[in-house]
A and B are shown apart, each in its own frame.
Chain A
């Protein structure tokens, strides 16, 4: 029995079969229910947790049909809808399929009701208000007409209104003129009615994107070892490769779904830098990926189905391998970065991309090697020497100079002091006003004359060129180490200058 606070009072939200026999119902005040049944055990309802658990359920049911959704019109959990078009024959027909799905949930200790019907609305109504059954298109009207109006997924207000009018079953409601109904109950009532009878098409949004190309294997006995999973993955990759090859296609993203016996699905995904269908490579990527989740992998009571799906598919022509060509080199490198990314993570394998900017830390960007495209070759203007290593964050240093605005003479960095023997600079780098969100002050705004609209002045802070100005120096200490240091802002008499170390030269 679950309760939740509704409109300032604690009300029962869900009741089980036994409570219903005792005369309790959902929506009842908790205090009233306690008065009727003194020994009542109740728990507070945790909707997010229920929804998450139900989402797991939905994912698990994708082993029955690729299109599974949680219906959330009535509540965020509790209703699962499967599109079984073209699937039922795999289970020996619709009736055995329904029986299989229901019994395997009942075996887990859940109370389930289900129905197979031509429309989503009818299936919902029948599963909730009739026995579990398969309804053919011909019987749909007879069965639906006999059901109470509650079976239409209506709001409590609509149901109360219909009850007041004495319309108890759908069969009584359906022949009524539609215009007055719409005026009184809104369009949603008619929509629900039409959806149930299939006059209007209703769409479902599947939780997992349907993969068109996949290979799967079911096991008579559940398997548990990761090695077995990977061996199966290799077999599936070969099956998939044969299919992709026949179609002249290759994929970039591969997903491995592991369906556990205890209604959980584990998903592993790997990406490849270039289109591929090479089963060896795909298996290797999954092997690397699985090593990364060594601790998280938990087969529970075993895995009874494995599916390998491919997405981001596009055309990939067959290539002849040449013994002496250089064509395979780029491919080898891409495969290497795939393998390393699959184990170390995508953000761990990086390439440098040059950006046309003179701010040092913005001039080079590290992008995942999988996503790297052709870099900017040359900035196009002569660039003064740049350090071989750059610190991700410049570090504060203390600098002494012989004359206040002169070349640095000594430096203290990480509590070591350095005597600077040679130095060159400054190289002055200003802030990029064209990238900043600040406005340049060019003409002072004058007070508007009478009757004149004041000029539009964007509400931005003023651009301060001094704030972003840096003076860079290349300095060499007594032992020949060479550093790249800069002073933030201009030199000002009486104010201590702020210096940073930014990089190391070779």
Chain B
């Protein structure tokens, strides 16, 4: 039985190791977030964010959420958003539409569309685009799975993003989650729109539900119900989730702190 001060030192050392092992960019991300109350935080650039949705038919909401965040990153210095898609997925997912961008609140001139022939070229283009200091955000819309999209690739992109200060949004579809070095991972679903002011039968202002699956924000809030106006996000109080939403699948675990994952015995 070691002396108590030894145990304290051991605990302190373990803490240090955990700090080292925790991704440095992620630690930084905690600092960069400004959050007021329970409103959706203003996320700074330099993050690799994965945004998942369960089905491809939610593609509209997914693109909306990414562009809404990217719009907040646009400045006079960084005035472009690059959107990337595989050329053969245009008919499956649809292409960003100029007049639609205008009514969404983004200048179509600021969006550059890149249609890559295969996943290798797409990843090359993401890396090339994020290295440019005039790019505020890169939105990669990936409707299929590929072997190239592994941990190494995401680690590479997350380091690139952290180094240059632009954000990468990876739009993904489906329930599967592969290991990745993304700083934040969202699960986004559209929900019932609000009531239209003049016509009860018509769709009203849009609503999304965003759940944070990976990474942490300042107040450890993980669920947001969001609306969008041309000027930014509006945050609504999260309703209680329906029981049947959770029934189908196990709740995804929050990220395990590195200290627990390093394989050291926890009973020492």
Q: Judge whether A387 and B203 touch: CB under 8 Å.
A: no
Q: Is A97 interfacial (CB 8 A cutoff)?
A: no
Q: Is A463 interfacial (CB 8 A cutoff)?
A: no
Binding-face segment, A162-170, A350-358, A454-462: A350-358
**In chain B, residues 39-77, which have Cβ atoms closer than 8 Å to a Cβ of chain A?**
57-61, 63-65, 67-68, 76-77
Q: Judge whether B91 and A389 touch: CB under 8 Å.
A: no
Binding-face segment, B18-26, B95-103, B231-239, B250-258: B95-103
Q: Is B80 interfacial (CB 8 A cutoff)?
A: yes
Binding-face segment, B3-11, B172-180, B189-197: B189-197
Q: Judge whether A366 and B113 touch: CB under 8 Å.
A: yes
Q: Is B218 interfacial (CB 8 A cutoff)?
A: no
Residue of A nearest to B93 (CB): A389
Q: Judge whether B59 and A504 touch: CB under 8 Å.
A: yes
Encode contact with B along A324-348: 1 for CB under 8 Å, 0 otherwise. 0010111011011101100111011
Least CB distance from B194 to A in Å reads: 10
Which residues in B have their C-beta under 8 angstroms from that of A476?
192-193, 203
Q: Judge whether A481 and B61 touch: CB under 8 Å.
A: yes
Q: Choose from A351, A391, A480, A503 the contact partner of B112 (Cβ within 8 Å).
A: A351
| Interface size grouping (class) on chain B | 35 or more
Encode contact with A along B219-251: 1 for CB under 8 Å, 0 otherwise. 000000000100000000000000000000000
Which residues in A have their C-beta under 8 angstroms from that of B203?
422-424, 474-476, 482, 505
Q: Is B90 interfacial (CB 8 A cutoff)?
A: yes
CA distance A389 to B96 in the complex (A): 4
Which residues in B have their C-beta under 8 angstroms from that of A326?
76-77
Q: Judge whether A344 and B190 touch: CB under 8 Å.
A: no
With A348-B115, A387-B60, A388-B64 known as contacts, the answer to whether A482 contacts B228 (CB < 8 A) is no
**In chain A, residues 300-342, which have Cβ atoms closer than 8 Å to a Cβ of chain B?**
326, 328-330, 332-333, 335-337, 339-340
Q: Is B116 interfacial (CB 8 A cutoff)?
A: yes
Which residues in A have their C-beta under 8 angstroms from that of B77?
326, 329
Interface size on A, residues (CB 8 A): 57
Q: Judge whether A506 and B63 touch: CB under 8 Å.
A: yes
Q: Judge whether B108 and A352 touch: CB under 8 Å.
A: yes
CA distance A476 to B206 in the complex (A): 10
Least CB distance from B251 to A in Å reads: 20
With A329-B77, A329-B134, A375-B108 known as contacts, the answer to whether A422 contacts B63 (CB < 8 A) is no
Q: Is A442 interfacial (CB 8 A cutoff)?
A: no
Q: Judge whether B90 and A329 touch: CB under 8 Å.
A: no
CA distance A407 to B202 in the complex (A): 10
Residue of B nearest to A421 (CB): B192
Least CB distance from B223 to A in Å reads: 16
Which residues in A have their C-beta under 8 angstroms from that of B196?
422, 424
Q: Is A380 interfacial (CB 8 A cutoff)?
A: no
Residue of B nearest to A391 (CB): B94
CA distance A424 to B193 in the complex (A): 13
Binding-face segment, B121-129, B148-156, B259-267: B121-129
Q: Choose from B82, B99, B134, B193 the contact partner of A360 (Cβ within 8 Å).
A: B99
Q: Judge whether B189 and A352 touch: CB under 8 Å.
A: no
Q: Is B217 interfacial (CB 8 A cutoff)?
A: no
Q: Judge whether A392 and B59 touch: CB under 8 Å.
A: no
- Looking at chain A's contact residues, the main secondary structure is mixed
Q: Judge whether A506 and B104 touch: CB under 8 Å.
A: yes
CA distance A363 to B108 in the complex (A): 12
Q: Judge whether B114 and A333 touch: CB under 8 Å.
A: no
CA distance A337 to B134 in the complex (A): 12
Which residues in A have their C-beta under 8 angstroms from that of B61?
480-481, 506
CA distance A350 to B99 in the complex (A): 16
CA distance A391 to B96 in the complex (A): 9
With A389-B60, A390-B95, A392-B91 known as contacts, the answer to whether A336 contacts B135 (CB < 8 A) is yes
Which residues in B have their C-beta under 8 angstroms from that of A184?
none
Least CB distance from B58 to A in Å reads: 6
With A336-B134, A343-B121 known as contacts, the answer to whether A474 contacts B202 (CB < 8 A) is yes
Least CB distance from B133 to A in Å reads: 6
Which residues in B have their C-beta under 8 angstroms from that of A505?
60, 64, 100, 203, 206
Residue of B nearest to A369 (CB): B112
With A332-B134, A344-B117 known as contacts, the answer to whether A387 contacts B206 (CB < 8 A) is no
Q: Judge whether A387 and B95 touch: CB under 8 Å.
A: no
Q: Judge whether A388 and B63 touch: CB under 8 Å.
A: yes
Q: Judge whether B97 and A387 touch: CB under 8 Å.
A: yes
Q: Judge whether B60 and A482 touch: CB under 8 Å.
A: yes
With A350-B113, A351-B113, A424-B203 known as contacts, the answer to whether A386 contacts B134 (CB < 8 A) is no
Q: Is A479 interfacial (CB 8 A cutoff)?
A: yes
CA distance A505 to B64 in the complex (A): 8
Encode contact with B along A119-155: 1 for CB under 8 Å, 0 otherwise. 0000000000000000000000000000000000000
- 5 residue pairs, one from A and one from B, having the closest CB atoms: A506-B64, A504-B60, A364-B98, A389-B94, A424-B202
A-B contact pairs, 22 of them (CB 8 A): A326-B77, A336-B82, A336-B128, A339-B128, A349-B112, A350-B113, A352-B96, A352-B109, A354-B98, A354-B108, A360-B97, A383-B99, A388-B60, A390-B94, A392-B90, A422-B196, A422-B203, A423-B202, A480-B193, A481-B61, A482-B193, A505-B100
**Which residues in B have some Cβ–Cβ distance to A below 8 Å?**
57-61, 63-65, 67-68, 76-80, 82, 87, 90-91, 93-104, 108-109, 111-117, 121, 124-125, 128-129, 132-135, 189-193, 196, 199, 201-204, 206-207, 228
**Which residues in A have some Cβ–Cβ distance to B below 8 Å?**
326, 328-330, 332-333, 335-337, 339-340, 343-345, 347-354, 360, 363-364, 366, 369, 375, 379, 383, 385-393, 407, 414, 416, 421-424, 474-476, 479-482, 503-506
Given contact pairs A326-B77, A386-B97, a sample of 15 additional A-B residue pairs in the complex whose CB atoms are under 8 Å apart: A329-B77, A336-B134, A350-B115, A352-B96, A352-B108, A352-B113, A354-B98, A354-B99, A389-B59, A391-B91, A407-B201, A424-B201, A482-B206, A505-B203, A506-B104
